[in-house]
Amino acid sequence: MLVIVRGLPGSGKSTFAEKLGVGFQHYEADMFFMVKGKYHFIPELLPCAHKWCQEQARKDLEMGLHVSVANTFTMLWEMQPYLDMAKALSCWMDVVKCTGNFKNSHGVPDSVIEKMKERWEDFEGEVEV
C-alpha cells in the first residue's frame, strides 16, 4: 500500500503521515536534509532528495511494506514517479491532501507558499483532510 500525502508547508502532511503508524514506512524529501537531528536545507540537492525518497519508497514497496510519502506535490507531475511506481508494483494507492493551517516547521517564507498555492493542481480522487 502506498499513501501519498500532499499539501502546502504547514498543512499537516508530516503529522498525518506519521499518524498512519505501525506498519507504515514514512518518507519525505526533507528527511534527506536531516543531519544529527537538525534540518540543513541545500536547494541544489533537492533533486537528490527526491530521488532518495523515491528509491526508499520503491525498495520498501518491493519488499511488501506499506509506505507513506509526504511532500508538497503542488503539481501533478511531481507525484507521477509514485503513481507509476504503484501501478508497476500493482499496489493499492491513496492520495491525501492536507489542508491544515499550522506553523511550517522549516520556516518556508509566506511569499514562497503563495507561489505554491498559485501553481497547485488538484488530483482527481484525492481525500482531503
Report pLDDT digits (tens) over 12-45: 999 999 899 778 999 999 999 999 989 898 999 9
What local confidence, expressed as pLDDT, does residue 23 receive? 87
What total of structural domains would you count in the chain?
1
In this prediction, residue 56 carries a pLDDT of 98
C-alpha cell, 12: 499537516
Cα(first)–Cα(last) distance of the chain, in Å?
19
Mean pLDDT by 10 residues, the chain (129 residues): 96 92 91 92 95 98 97 97 97 96 82 95 96
Full domain range(s) for residue 60: 2-128
Print the SS3 string covering the chain. CEEEEECCCCCCHHHHHHHCCCCEEEECHHHHHEECCEECCCHHHHHHHHHHHHHHHHHHHHCCCEEEEECCCCCHHHHHHHHHHHHHCCCCEEEEECCCCCCCCCCCCHHHHHHHHHHCCCCCCCEEC
Say what the pLDDT of residue 68 is.
97
pLDDT of residue 103: 79
Task: Report the pLDDT value the prediction gives residue 42, as an integer from 0 to 100.
Answer: 92
According to the model, what pLDDT value does residue 118 have? 97
CATH assignment of the domain containing 41: 3.40.50.300
Q: What is the per-residue pLDDT for 10? A: 92
What CA–CA distance (Å, rounded) separates 5 from 61? 16
In this prediction, residue 9 carries a pLDDT of 93
pTM above 0.95, yes or no: no
Q: Which three cell numbers stand for residue 88?
A: 508497476
Whole-number pLDDT of residue 119? 97
